[in-house]
Every structure is written in structure tokens, then in C-alpha cells.
A and B are shown apart, each in its own frame.
Chain A
Amino acid sequence: MSFALGLRCRDCGETYPLAPQAGCETCFAPLEVVYDLEALGRALHPARIASRPADMWRYRELLPIEPEAASPRPRPTGLKIGWTPLQPAPRLARSLGVRELYIKNDAVNFPTLSFKDRVVAVALDCAVRFGFNVVACSSTGNLANAVAAQAAALGLESFIFTPADLETAKILATRIYGARLIQIDGNYDQVNRLCGEIAQKLPWGIVNVNLRPFYAEGSKTVAYEIAEQLGWRFPDALVCPMAGGSLLTKIGRGFDELRALGWASGDSRICGAQAAGCSPISTAVKNGSREIVPQKPRTIARSLAIGDPADGFYAAETIRRTGGWAEDATDEEIVAGIRVLAETEGIFAETAGGVTVAGARKLLASGRIDPNGSLVLVISGNGLKTLDAVADQFDQQVVLPPRLADFEAYLSSRQPAAPALETVLA
């Protein structure tokens, strides 16, 4: 059973039933799901979770979902959402200068290779229960892919709203599922505003509008998995990319819940990384300001290009209260971050991953993260979706005739490979 009791306003505390609703009717603040953690703690123990299948539903009591039997449509099986690797990263650790480093690798989350599969799994489970036949979202790409794929798996119709300048891979990986893709001549914040207006007119389940309180809960599974994979402990620090700020906020909340349940203890400094060309949250953190000042995004990290982050206020609060910090990375640093992660650990992340690696390097260099502690980097999406970001990184590929002599000539004449990344990053 679910231990979700209802929705509560994060600002004024007003409570609401578990039903589609975007924000508080009194003060407009975001809503969050409240659980009966005491009852949950009596009913569930980490040992029982350990015996369950390796996907995000192993934490189902901590999500606002009903038992499968209560759902009008069967939950799609075989999508293998969540329980992504927490990969030790010793070579990247040496490059960054930290003792103990892990990559939480949602670049290999299924079915669409980003952490958004987690949030959409919860949102669409709720959409079915609430009786929506049409689901929609505003997206910078990863959410689009996840909604399109999982809507198809559930037999739901989907409308996906994105900025027009989306990467080709993200466009095709939305349309292939039969989703209706609506590209808008504007940036994400303008697309999001339009979806807000649409939500007032049409009886749709919009995953990041009226399903948002439920959708956001899926991000907590990143936190649960990190703690469980570390043997029910927290890393000393964690770096997470920030777009709307929801993932970071929910990782903080996930850790809080595990503390309240007594399943893990101690502190973890939660740090955020943004692109320098879209840094409303990291700017607020660095300035010690509680106000998030919106920006017009200009960055190759298009999945993070949200100039008016809906959860920015709470992400900054989470960073502050956990003793974390925030950094931002230029386009060059983002590409260098993608390359060093790929070259040292064999993980090809999208631009947001480059932001995270570059941000972590700066946070370690400035002493905001202890180099003698343990550190987890959250890699939220796959590099195959943002190939254009690295397309200009390599010389024209040489094509050889199929003769041994030509290959030997090539080997002896070969120039040293691309400059060492350490030099580029210095």
C-alpha cells in the first residue's frame, strides 16, 4: 500500500487531497506529497527492499502510487526504470582531486536514457488513476522522450511542447513513439507559460503542471538508490545538475526521509551545477540571495536552459541548509567535462553531465567540497542525445585504404592525439 496521505503546500502548509493540482490555491507555491512515515517505518525495512526487483518500484511505499491491482491499466512491465549503476570512478577522481568518487549513472536509465523516466513513471501511473486519457508536458527534450515513450507503453495519447531549437535526436526520439510534438518559437520558459495557460483550458494531465506534485516524487528514487547502493549511508557530498531545481530539491527530501525512517544517518552536502549561460539558481546561492532572478538562457546545455526555475527557490534552500554550494560552467568547460568523464570512466553524458563534472571540479578546487571525503556526481542524461555539442571536437576522420602498409605509415606519422584534457581545463 501507499503511505501517501495527501498534498501539502510547501510555503503556507495548506493541505489538499491526492488529486491533480499544480500549486497551492492560497499562495501558488508548489505542493508536495505527505507520507505517514511512522506507519511506513513499522511496515517496511531495508532488508525487504533488498529482496525486491532492481527497479525504482522497490521504493513504492515512498511514492504516491497505488497497488497495481487498483490501477485501471496494468503498469507496463519490462521498462526497467531506475536502479541505475552507482559506478566507482577512480580515474575521474584522480583528475578532479577527490578521494572517493561515484557516478550515479542515469545516462543508462530506461526506457529513454535519462532520469526523467523516473518522474514520468510516477506521473503517468497517477494520470491513469486520475482518469486522464491525454497526457502532455513542456520539455527541453529528456522529459519529452520519457513522456512520449511511456505514454505509448500505456496506450495514452500525448502532446509534447518544446522550444523549436531542440537537438535532432531529442525531436526524433519523441516523434518515433507517435507523440504529437508541438514546437514553439520561443525558449523553455515561454513554452512553460503556454502550457500553464493550456492547463486551465483542457482536461489533460500535464506532467509538469497539474501532475507536478506527483511527477516530482519520482526524483526521490535517485536519493534512495544512492543511499542503498552505498550500504545505507550518504556520500559526504553530492553534485547534481540544476534546470528547474526539482531533482536537487527532491534528492534532499529523499535523504531527509531516510533519516526520518532511521535507515541512514549523517549529513550530505548537496551541491548544484548550472551552465554559466543559464545560472539563476547558482547566482542566488553565490550571492546569498533568497530571490531567484530570471535569466534569458544562452548555453549549449539546452536541457538545463530554464531561465525561470519553478523550484529554484527550494533548490537554493536545500543547498544552503545542507552546507552545499553551487557552481556554473562555461560552454567550453561543459564540453571538457563531457570528454573527461567519457575518457576516464567510459560514460558518455549529455551536456548536463558536462555541467556536473565541471561544477564538481570547481567546487573541489575552491574547497567547497572536501577532497578527502566521498562524492557522488549525478549524471542525468545520455550523450547520444546531444551529439551536436561535441561534433566540432575532433579533426576530420582519416580514411585509409585497406592495406597494411598504409596503416603502418599512418601509425608512424600519427600526430599526438587531442591535447590532454588536463591542459584544456587548466
Chain B
Amino acid sequence: MPYNVRIPAPLRKFTAGVETVSCQAPDLGGMLAELSLRYPELKERLCEPDGRPRRFFNVYVNEEDIRFLGGAQYRFRDADEVLILPSIAGGR
């Protein structure tokens, strides 16, 4: 069940410039863990010290805010297009 996750520009310095990462984890928590495992420096950017996702970024699935799709309960599907974006988005 692979799907692509797009990494926002300000975080690409922690992914060696990689813009799109293929993930397998079934849900949001799993996806953040999978990204953190592959790119350890992403972890503190994406998660609070207690592991919860940080407040100030949004995750979109096929252009819909994941919070409208069930949030942490949403199960990713094959070929979903996932986008991580700071809630006040953008690079420099």
C-alpha cells in the first residue's frame, strides 16, 4: 500500500533535498514514525516531545485536510497523494 508524501521546502534540508517520500504506514501516527525513522532530524520538527503531531502543520490527503477525513483514524489508501504543509505555509 505505498503512497507518496510530499515534504515541504523548509524541511527538505532534513531529507537530503528529497521532495517526495514513499511511505507504507497505515495511518498518520505510523506515517510520522516512518518518516522519523528514515530521516531522524524530521522527528522533532513533526512531533512534540511526547510524540503527538505538532500543532502548526497540516496534512492533506488528495488535497483534503486529513482532519476532515478522520484525522488519526484515517487509513491511507494505495496511491494517496499526501502533502505536509506548515499551517502558515511557505519557505523564504
Q: Residues of A with Cβ closer than 8 Å to B?
A: 11, 19-30, 189-190, 192-193, 195-200, 206, 208-210, 212, 293-294, 296, 308, 310, 313
Contact = CB atoms under 8 A, between A and B. Distances in A.
B90 A294 contact: no
15 contacts: A11-B55, A19-B92, A22-B88, A23-B87, A27-B54, A28-B57, A189-B65, A193-B60, A193-B89, A196-B8, A199-B91, A200-B9, A200-B89, A210-B90, A212-B88
Given A200-B9, A308-B65, A27 B56 contact: yes
A402 to B, nearest CB: 59
A28 B67 contact: no
Given A19-B92, A209-B90, A212-B88, A200 B8 contact: yes
3 nearest CB pairs, A to B: A196-B89, A199-B90, A28-B56
A20 B10 CA distance: 13
Contacts, number: 83
Contacts of B50: none
Given A23-B87, A28-B87, 4 more contacts: A195-B90, A197-B83, A210-B92, A308-B58
Nearest to B91: A200
Nearest to A200: B9
Contact of A27 (B45, B63, B89, B92): B45
B68 A296 contact: yes
Contacts of A27: 45, 54, 56
B44 A26 contact: yes
Nearest to A130: B92
Interface in B1-60: 8-10, 44-45, 54-58, 60
Nearest to A309: B87
B67 A294 contact: yes
Contact of A28 (B9, B54, B65, B68): B54
A23 B10 CA distance: 10
B90 to A, nearest CB: 3
B90 A11 contact: no
Given A28-B57, A29-B56, A23 B88 contact: yes
A281 to B, nearest CB: 14
